[in-house]
Amino acid sequence: MMDAKLSFKRLVFSAVGIVLCLIIGGGPLARAQNSTAPASSGVQVNTGLSDDLRAIYQDGPYFSAIPDKVSNACSAATTTISDPGQIPKEWLDVFQKAAEKYQVDVKLVASLFYTEHGGGWTPINSVWASSPTGAKGPFQFLDGTWDSLKEDADGNGVADVQNPTDAAFAAAHYLKNMGGAVGMPTGGNDQPQGFLRGMKEQPLTAASVFARYNQGPGSWKEGATWFNNKGPLSDSNQKQVTGYITLATGVYQKLGGTNANLATATSGTCGGAFESLDNITYFSQVDPRWKASPYGIGTIAECACGPTSLAMVVATLNKGSAVTPPIVADWAYKNGHQIGGGDCGSSWSLFVAGAKNWGLSGEDLGVDLSKARSAIEAGGLVIASMDAASPFTDGGHFIVIRSISPTGQVLVADPNDGAPGSANYLKKSKTTWNLGDFSGWTKGMWAIHP
């Protein structure tokens, strides 16, 4: 939410996770998220996770950024990750070839990728981040796993973990080793017969394959307890694998068929992934599907108002991008636009660079509100850095300016606008503001154009 420097010492972590410093009900945050400091370079190691969360994010053959906790207020939304819609053609072609070679369902490969990327189709030409334990590439292979599965699938003479085709074929191979097949029933957490000890036990389900992928090939479930070859999983990992299965099988079931001919999701009371707020695709950084995903030393809920604002703009202006806040946060983090050095938030460099990455153009407007009006009238949107003097934050915060009327009435999209499902949800985003007030509230603005 915030947009000013944050000292690491001011972060407070509980024994089992990150305590979100958010005033539920739509009040301003007690801390700031943005900084004007220069962006650092390279991939940074997230040092702000609790031991339990770090174990979750680093466990298994891949690195997963799926949160293990959700709010009770939005429990209905946690039965699935955001609706995957259609698999982008660039990925569908690769997934189909990989699935065909290893005789697994293309939905297994696609669901795995979509879930691992926090509910989005990260562009195939992305620069892929590494996890804190060194998991690499679009499918986040650890070195040992990659060495056992690597292949030169695109025939360029090199088996490269960063190559989307090579990595997808290795992922399909791994899914096959986990018991994957064509036309598998979905299964679920309420079907323990799908999680029996040993690969020869039947019936295998997509859920059982995802469980083995997430916790290792020796994983099984007896009663309500998950085990691996080291014994019962920890309480946090019990929750994590259960949540992971729920998310991955939700995507698998929604895809329904090879071409995934589904309509885009609409919103519910918990802030749907493609929620419409009049003229803009709206995202909340405290959406339970990604609020606990890491961003720098904190989480998307705590620190990613910038990436969430950019995700709204990109999703609105570039309909084919299928971005979500975790996708933008991941890109910002690995491209040096997340403030490092124990600070929470994003560099101002994020918006022009991010616009370019998703096929749009960005322009630094300074604090010129007349330029902001012209940009919006020309079909663009404006991201603004808000000062503590504004009603949007106690420290600093990025929001989207989505409309300025000829008479100076302003509409915004605030990524931290109350908890989804609460009485104050979207209250500020549906309030009409006066343009004159923004001259004392804004510290910087960036126009994003189609």
Q: What is the pLDDT of residues 78-105, one digit of tens each?
A: 333 455 767 888 899 999 999 999 999 9
Residues 304, 15, 242, 257, Cα dihedral to 10°: 10
CATH classification of the domain holding 158: 1.10.530
Separation between Cα atoms, residue 273 and residue 276, nearest integer Å: 9
Same domain for 233 and 158: yes
Same domain for 228 and 113: yes
Instruction: State the pTM of this model.
Output: 0.48
238 torsion bin: left (phi>0), alpha (psi -120 to 50), beta (else): alpha
Residue 311 has pLDDT above 50, yes or no: yes
Query: Going by DSSP bridges, is the β-strand pair 298-299/346-347 parallel, antiparallel, or unpaired?
Result: unpaired
For the segment 321-333, what is each residue's pLDDT rounded down to a tens digit?
Answer: 668 898 899 899 8
**Structure token pair of residue 370:** 């007349």
Same domain for 51 and 16: yes
Greatest mean pLDDT among 311-320, 364-373, 401-410, 418-427 = 364-373
Q: How big is the chain by its Cα radius of gyration, in Å?
A: 22
CATH classification of the domain holding 312: 3.90.70.10
Residue 241 has pLDDT above 80, yes or no: no
When pLDDT is cut at 50, 70 and 90, the band that residue 412 belongs to is very high
State the pLDDT at residue 33.
46
Domain hosting residue 339, numbered range: 1-67+264-450
> Which DSSP string do the residues of 249-285 spell out, in sequence order?
HHHHHHH-STT---PPP---TT--TTEEETTEEE--T
State the pLDDT at residue 339.
86
Tally of domains within the chain: 2
**Structure token pair of residue 42:** 């390279």
The answer to whether position 1 is within a domain reads yes
The answer to whether position 423 is within a domain reads yes
For the segment 173-198, what is each residue's pLDDT rounded down to a tens digit?
Answer: 999 988 888 888 887 665 544 444 44
The answer to whether position 283 is within a domain reads yes
State the pLDDT at residue 27.
26
**Structure token pair of residue 61:** 């053959």
State the pLDDT at residue 400.
97
Same domain for 415 and 318: yes
The answer to whether position 77 is within a domain reads no
Is 37:86 a contact under the CB 8 Å cutoff? no
